[in-house]
Amino acid sequence: MARTAVLGVAVLLMLGSVVSLGVGMAAPRSDGPLPTGRCPTAAVGLPADGVIGAARRALAEAARDHPGLRTAGAAVMAADRAGFAGVRGGEIDRECGARVRDRTVVVQLLFPRMLPSASLSEAVVAVSRFARGYRVWEILH
């Protein structure tokens, strides 16, 4: 049983490494405003590679948005447009409407240094694109 759990964590870490989106690219600096949780009425449409840009921003802002957690080595577990992000996307749709949902990416992060705690090792954030770039506007978990 313990071997299965260790194998599962190893697979997650490998997948996170593949999806970390940092291959050969430095993460952009994170000097924007902190997440407010308010619906982003100024969000603009997402380009074709919007999910990738949003995932990179979520990684860049992880340490700032989750103070006190050991975020070194953070990886993206999943990133989807909110319309395809299941329950979390539905939450954004209910709170902010279809327009914001269509302009938002839900990013799931893994903080491997916080394992085995399921709660502390995972985070879910909402990211949208604005005139000055991508920004995490809500921490969902």
Residue 28: phi and psi, rounded to 5, are -65, 150
**Listed residue (54, 137, 134) closest to 92, CA to CA:** 137
Q: Is the pLDDT at 5 greater than 80, yes or no? A: no
Sorted by sequence, the CB contacts under 8 Å of residue 43 that are 6+ apart come out as 100, 103, 104, 128, 129, 130, 137
Is the pLDDT higher at 72 or at 47?
47
Give domain status of residue 132, yes or no: yes
Give domain status of residue 121, yes or no: yes
Q: What is the mean pLDDT of residues 82-92?
A: 93
Q: Looking at residue 4, what is its pLDDT? A: 46
Q: What is the mean pLDDT of residues 89-93?
A: 93
Give domain status of residue 29, yes or no: no
Sorted by sequence, the CB contacts under 8 Å of residue 51 that are 6+ apart come out as 79, 80, 81, 105
* pLDDT tens track for 32-44: 566 777 899 999 9
Domain count, the chain: 1
Residue 73 lies in domain = 2-22+37-139
Distance (Å, whole) CA 48 – CA 45: 10
Is the pLDDT higher at 2 or at 89?
89
